[in-house]
Structure 1
Amino acid sequence: MPVTAPPAAPRPWLADPPPLVRGYRRTVPLPVRRAVVAVTGAGLRRAAMRGLCGLSAASGALRLRWARRRLRRAGVAGDGRIVIADRYGARVATLAPSPTPLFARAENLRLVCEALDAARLDHFVVRCYSNVASAVGVRADQRGAVVAALSALCAREAGYVSLPGRRLRAGSRLRPGGTRRAWRRLADAPVVRFTRFHASPGAGLVLGVAHGCDIEFWEPGTLGGERLLLAPRFNRTTASVPLVGEPVRASDQLFTRLAPASGWRPGPLVRTRPEFITRLPDEVRFPIDVVYTWVDGSDPQWQRRRAAAAGEGYHAQADNAARYANRDELRYSLRSLHLYAPWVRHIYIVTDRQVPDWLAESHPGITVVDHHDIFDDPSVLPTFNSHAIETRLHHIDGLAEHFLYFNDDVFLGSPVTPQDFFLANGVSKFFPSRALIPLAPVGTCDVPVSAAGKNNRTLLEGRFGTTVTQKMKHTPHALRTSVLAEIEREFPEAVSATMASRVRSTSDISLPSSLHHYYAFLTGRAVPAQLRYDYFDLAQPTIRARLARLLRSRHCQAFCLNDTVSSDHDLADQLALLHPFLDAYFPLPSPLERAVTRQETRQPCPSPSLFP
């Protein structure tokens, strides 16, 4: 019997709008909708929305019940599987303890290759452009046998077939692959995608068609007298391979940039052709680490140290409680790394004699670094100035030359690759913001980020004769330890003064979040780039609706949940908003969380419409 997801608890701000509401918004012009709002009260509109949500929930439960019965009769639902439903219909998903995009991609590829191997059909893994999906080439003149093998696979593994695409736009595009009807619709398709859905227990996380395996039908042909197989679409390596060629085995790490760099974490071997195992010039072959700075402002011992520190921040933002508030963001940021950046080699968490109680310190992939381990002048400790701590990050013992610096309120929102942050020749990327650094001299009215930006600008003007005006986005910062060390040698007074400042000061510089990027750019070691990113100020009144949209679309590669002006009362309200959102976006504990904590972690109510 299938394990069916229980109905979700009411969470209207996290759920998709009811179908009737979506249809109303699509068909009724905006001026008319505004006129309706003008003549109706908020209470009436809320009542109507509650009614539509209730109708939608009832109809959804009925559709799910019918779909479950239909799938059971079809024989595809069984032990270890779960029936899920979204706006496109019902699906059967295979349960996995902790699925990730890389896992779902590898499983779909494995199933296809094993089915073709069992049928003794020639095939080869192709170096396609997607990093979250895979591709296998087969001979087009063997299409009948390939379809028979894949049809049997779909019937056995609850697989689906469709045309490949970035998003599933219509339910008709995805059909159970064990039926003749599905393959008749794809009879002339040069590329067909196989998908087995993977879900965590409770369907808190469902990985679907984005991580399928594409079957490419390569047409036999002749070019220059040589008999070849011609590719049906572009790939990273070659437009043709010999019609008859010896297969080779290669690590699957070559076929996706999501996989860890080859050599330090081996991957499974796959069958391919020699043309697809060439080393490409854009491959990132060096290790990349991650560094976090973290503080728990609710820790009584830390609060006593903070109270005893001489001096106060010059600006309200420097002393606001929101700067030190622990909303458990680090836990969820690490979950985002586990899901969307499995290529990271090692993670360092820089703290002041604090360790999160849920952290699995014994895990080989993480190291907690105390301030005393990186500050060579203990007289400046304790420090409560993030700018000061950031001047010492490159002194972490064992840190890779290339690393990403995260604040704990920065999250990955979808899969990223090393190439999103570094070029293969080692050059780092940075992400300028439209926000500007004011041109006026530094003053006590400047917010800390502006004051530090102005001081950075002064240093760069003196060294390079150029004036920088843009701030940086609150993304992961791609850094090089050698560049940071060079800046420390080039501007020793500014770095030392910032390091010695226990609280934020108008004389601070911001080393990893701004100065590094401009200095590296002006010395030919960094380039500006783009990252799908958004910034969310938790104090803004529209935050609830914006988070709902982010959760539904998952369009960002990175996002920041930040706040510098809230009161204690605001923090309590934000926690009530933030935790359900983060639980829904990152429902599964990462391996960096203690086993007891993972068992105790509340599994969120399933939201099957959310397919990362």
Structure 2
Amino acid sequence: MTAVSDVAARRSASTDSPWQDGHHGTRRSAAPTTLTAEHGDVYVEPDLTPLGAREANRSALSALLDTVGIPHFAVRGTVDHGTVIGVDEEHRESVLQAVFRGLSQFPGHLTVVDPDAPRPAKPVSSRDPRAWRDVATARVLQISWYRTDPGRHLLLGHEYGCALEFWQRQGAHLVAPRANRITWAVAADGGNVKGAARLFSRFVSDWTPEPLAPALSTRPEFLVNCADDIAFPVDAVYTWVDGNDPAWQQRKAQAKGEVYHAESASDARFISRDELRYSVRSLHLFAPWIRNIYVVTDDQVPAWMREDVPGIRIATHREIFRNPEDLPTFNSHSIESQLHHIQGLAEHFLYFNDDMFIGRPVAPHAFFTPNGTARYFPSRNRIPQGPVAETDSPVDAACKNNRALLKERFGKVITQPMEHIPYALRRSAMEEAEREFPEAWARTSASRFRAMTDLSPTSSFALYYAAMTGRAQPGSMPFAYLQLAVPDLADRLQRLRDGRDRDTFCLNDAFSTPEDIEAQQELLDDFFTSYFPTPSPYER
């Protein structure tokens, strides 16, 4: 996946694309637009997603084989971005003729894959005669049609293509030309069966929308559950507030006398920059394995959000708080202490602040192990030594409170807070922690603003509690943390957008002044719409 900028369209005719769309039948796509000599032909796709590009490439190649009656089957390959189709070596000539005709009509990209090569070959435009030089004897071909969104912000290229493998007959079996996740051989005369889409990519779950991830025709040998598969559901939870809502502002004003620290009631903490809309887009684009999204609010609904589609739901404070007297609250620690009470929430869930985003396709394995253990991501910072002091920030005070309770219970000292990465949580661990530490939990729930007695339930305490009870382990991932109140914000956002090499990133804002906000918003609007150009199904 690559960022596309300064694209000049050199062709303008339209043409029918060779793939099918699960919603609308045959799609009409803009003609190939030559971006650069390196990129070659690129097709403009509305509603573009990585998973959609992957499936479109697979279905296009499958359709080419179907037109000439070539039997084929989906293979459980070793990569998640693309797909793999296996064919009998005996059909090579007919297969290559079909591929040549298809790529002549709809130019794409081609690679002859050498399974023994130390690095993959560079894709070549199918218009280039060099692309066809070694196909007659190739064991594996990678075929793709590059795609970009109408705004030309994303370029989904060869990694989302479909590999065509030529399996050789050896007695009663077809033998693979390279390793896959399951087997070296299938029955030569065996029939095909349907296999769930999640078997063929870790970016897919049983809850991924069917048009993006249909069941595939495969061989029975591939219908096994592997030890490294994740089949359990994973939900996403957000906390969100519209700080411009007059009713909410009035409730906040009435409770403001409890503020103890300038950061606690900083207006920047409650500004809605539409981050939630784009964070949800990031899930739609890059984590389509999420089952349900819950948005926890104080009786508020984002103006852009649809409530009539499955997969997303508002969970109000009134619904999740066990003690109604704790409301209203303006303390994220308080709200986070009640997240595990969301009705229907999965055992495994990711908790997002609305300024956290998925930056590129990631699998649930980044956050959970296949046996369900959660991963947490310790910071390079250290929790200050000593007891809570008046000069501590709310974050440090909560970390010290976490440390004291956990040391008393387990005899172990935590030294690190967590990075600003979505928090992988176990619902059962939070329920148990609330039962084991009822006074500290109730005290945190009752704090209307951040208090020196708070725990930080989701960003530290529940993660370490899960670790000390065998349900979490440390992990690592490429991530970025950007503080918005910096003079070089534009440059930092540009590097993040151009690189697109972080699994997650956070755009945090606790210290911006009213003068900063207008200038920041213009930069953020451009950044969000170019990084996440495809609306989610949950937008009006």
Please say whether Structure 1 and Structure 2 have the same fold, judged by a TM-score greater than 0.5.
Answer: yes
**Deviation digits for residues 132-160 of structure 1 (CA, Å, limit 9, x no counterpart):** 21111223454332221111121233332
Matched, 1:495 2:441: yes
Q: Which residue of 2 aligns with 1:143?
A: 92
In structure 2, distance between residues paired with 1:188 and 1:540 = 56
Per the alignment, do residues 485 and 143 of structure 1 end up closer, same or farther by CA in structure 2, a change over 3 Å counting? same
Give the AA of the match of 1:249. Answer: K
SS at match of 2:133: helix
Which of 204-213 and 398-407 deviates more? 204-213
Question: Is the CA contact 2:109–2:145 (under 8 Å) kept in the aligned structure 1?
Answer: yes
What is the Cα deviation at residue 548 of structure 1?
Answer: 1.2
Distance 1:178 1:245 in 2: 37
Q: What is the CA-CA distance between 1:583 and the residue it aligns to?
A: 0.9
**1:135–1:216: 8 Å Cα contact kept in structure 2?**
yes
Does the aligned pair in 2 maintain the 1:162–1:193 contact within 8 Å?
Answer: yes
Write the deviation string for residues 42-91 of structure 1: whole angstroms up to 9, x where unpaired: xxxxxxxxxxxxxxx7xx75xx54xx39x999x99x96323434454454
* 1:218 aligned partner: 167
Match of 1:19 in 2: none
Q: In 2, Cα distance between the equivalents of 1:164 and 1:477?
A: 38
Match of 1:261 among 197, 201, 206: 206
Q: How far 1:164 sits from its partner (Å)?
A: 6.1
Q: Which amino acid aligns with 1:272?
A: T
Contact kept? 1:127, 1:236, Cα under 8 Å? yes
CA distance, structure 2, for counterparts of residue 309 and residue 536 of structure 1: 31
> Is 1:124–2:73 an aligned residue pair?
yes
Partner of 2:179: 234
SS in structure 1 opposite 2:305?
coil
* SS, match of residue 271 in structure 1: strand
Corresponding residue of 1:270 = 216
- Kindly indicate whether the alpha-carbon contact (under 8 Å) linking 1:380 and 1:500 is maintained by their aligned counterparts in 2: yes
* Secondary structure of the structure 1 residue equivalent to 2:380: strand
Match of 1:343 in 2: 289
What TM-score do the two structures reach when normalised by structure 2? Answer: 0.90
Q: Counterpart of 1:174 in structure 2: which amino acid?
A: P
**Letter of the aligned partner of 2:329 in structure 1?**
T
Map 1:463-478 → 2, pairs under 5 A: 463-478=409-424
Matched, 1:364 2:310: yes
Residues 196 and 206 in structure 2, CA contact (< 8 A), matched pair in contact too:
no
Contact 1:81/1:92 (CA < 8 Å) preserved in 2? no
Q: Is residue 345 of structure 2 the alignment partner of residue 377 of structure 1? A: no
2:260 to 311, 314, 331: 314
- How far did residue 571 of structure 1 move? 1.5
Note if contact 1:262-1:285 (Cα within 8 Å) is conserved in structure 2. Answer: no
Show CA shifts across 1:336-377 (max 9, x none): 011111111111111112111111122221111111111122
Distance 1:431 1:519 in 2: 14
Q: Within 5 A, what are the aligned runs for 1:167-206?
A: 173-177=122-126, 180-206=129-155
User: Which among 577, 597, 601 is matched to residue 523 of structure 2?
Assistant: 577
Letter in 2 for 1:452: A
Residue aligning to 2:225: 279
Q: Which stretch of structure 1 is more off in the superposition, 125-134 or 458-467?
A: 125-134
In 1: Cα distance, 2:335 partner to 2:135 partner: 58
1:247 is matched with 192
Instruction: Say which of 78, 82, 97 aligns to 1:133.
Output: 82
Residue number in structure 2 paired with 1:113 = 62
Give CA deviations for 1:155-202 in whole Å, capped at 9, x if unaligned: 23333212569xxxx9x9333436654211545543221112233334
| Cα deviation, residue 234, structure 1 | 2.5
2:394, 2:332 → 1: CA distance? 11
Q: Provide Cα deviations, 1:113-142, integer angstroms capped at 9, x if missing partner.
A: 222233233422111122121111223454
Distance 1:577 1:156, change over 3 A: same
Is contact 2:145-2:161 (8 Å) kept?
yes
| CA deviation after TM superposition for structure 1 residue 564, in Å | 1.2
Query: Contact conserved, 2:207 with 2:291, CA < 8 A, in 1?
Result: no
Alignment of 1:28-177 (within 5 A): 61=8, 65=10, 68=11, 80-89=29-38, 91-163=40-112, 173-177=122-126
The residue type equivalent to 1:407 in the other structure is: N
Question: What residue identity is the alignment partner of 1:235?
Answer: N
Deviation at 1:551, TM superposition (A): 0.9
CA 1:469–1:324 in structure 2 vs 1: closer, same or farther (change >3 Å)?
same
Amino acid corresponding to residue 246 of structure 1 in structure 2: G
Q: 1:486 to 1:265 in 2, by over 3 A?
A: farther
**Unpaired segments of 5 or more residues in structure 1?**
1-13, 17-56, 595-612
Amino acid corresponding to residue 97 of structure 1 in structure 2: P
Greater helix percent: which structure?
1
Q: Among residues 426, 450, 456, which one is paired with 2:402 in the alignment?
A: 456
Aligned with 2:375 (options 411, 426, 429)? 429
Q: C-alpha distance in 2, partners of 1:218/1:313?
A: 69
- Say whether 1:589 aligns with 2:539: no
Q: Residues 587, 446 of structure 1: CA spacing in aligned structure 2 closer, same or farther, 3 A cutoff?
A: same
Question: Structure 1 residues 262, 282: closer, same or farther in 2, change over 3 A?
Answer: farther
**What letter matches 2:109 in structure 1?**
Y
Deviation of 1:492 (Å) = 0.4
* Alignment CA distance shift 1:315-1:187 (3 Å): farther
SS in 2 for 1:403: strand
Q: Which amino acid aligns with 2:191?
A: E
Aligned CA distance change for structure 1 residues 472 and 544 (closer, same or farther; 3 Å): same
Give the letter aligned to residue 254 of structure 1. Answer: L
Secondary structure of 2:385's match? coil
Q: Give the Cα–Cα distance (whole angstroms) in 2 for the partners of residues 97 and 115 of structure 1.
A: 23
> 1:162–1:192: 8 Å Cα contact kept in structure 2?
yes
Amino acid in the other structure paired with 2:392? D
Q: Output the CA distance in 2 between the equivalents of 1:276 and 1:434.
A: 42
Q: CA RMSD in A?
A: 2.8
Number of residue pairs matched by the alignment: 523
Measure, in 1, the Cα distance between the counterparts of 2:336 and 2:275: 19
Give the conservation status (yes or no) of the 8 Å contact 1:153–1:159: no
Looking at structure 1, the residues matched to 48 and 4 of structure 2 have their Cα atoms a distance apart, in angstroms, of 22
- The aligned residue for residue 3 of structure 1 is none
Amino acid corresponding to residue 144 of structure 2 in structure 1: T
> Judging changes above 3 Å, is the alpha-carbon distance between structure 1 residues 545 and 469 closer, same or farther for their aligned structure 2 residues?
same
1:393 matched to 2:367: no
Distance 1:178 1:317 in 2: 59
Q: Report the counterpart of residue 495 of structure 2 in structure 1.
A: 549
- Counterpart amino acid of residue 200 in structure 2: F
Q: Which residue of 2 aligns with 1:330?
A: 276
Is contact 1:151-1:178 (8 Å) kept? no
Distance 1:411 1:439 in 2: 32
* Percent identical: 45
Which one-letter code corresponds to 2:313 in the other structure?
A: T
The residue identity in structure 1 corresponding to 2:364 is P
Q: Which residues of structure 2 form unaligned runs of 5+? A: 19-26
Contact 1:251–1:270, Cα closer than 8 Å, also in 2? yes
**What per-residue deviation string (whole Å, max 9, x for no partner) do you get for residues 437-460 of structure 1?**
112221122222211111111111
Task: Label 1:413 to 1:85 Cα distance change in 2 as closer, same or farther (>3 A).
Answer: farther
* Distance (Å, rounded) in 2 between the aligned partners of 1:310 and 1:317: 13
Q: In structure 1, how many angstroms separate the alpha carbons of the residues matched to 2:500 and 2:368?
A: 23
What is the CA–CA distance in structure 2 between the aligned matches of 1:454 and 1:139, rounded to whole Å? 64
The CA deviation string for residues 367-413 of structure 1, in whole angstroms up to 9 with x for no partner, is 11111111122222111100000010011111111111110000011
Taking a change above 3 Å as real, the CA distance of residues 301 and 213 of structure 1, as seen in their structure-2 partners, is same
Partner SS for 1:317: coil
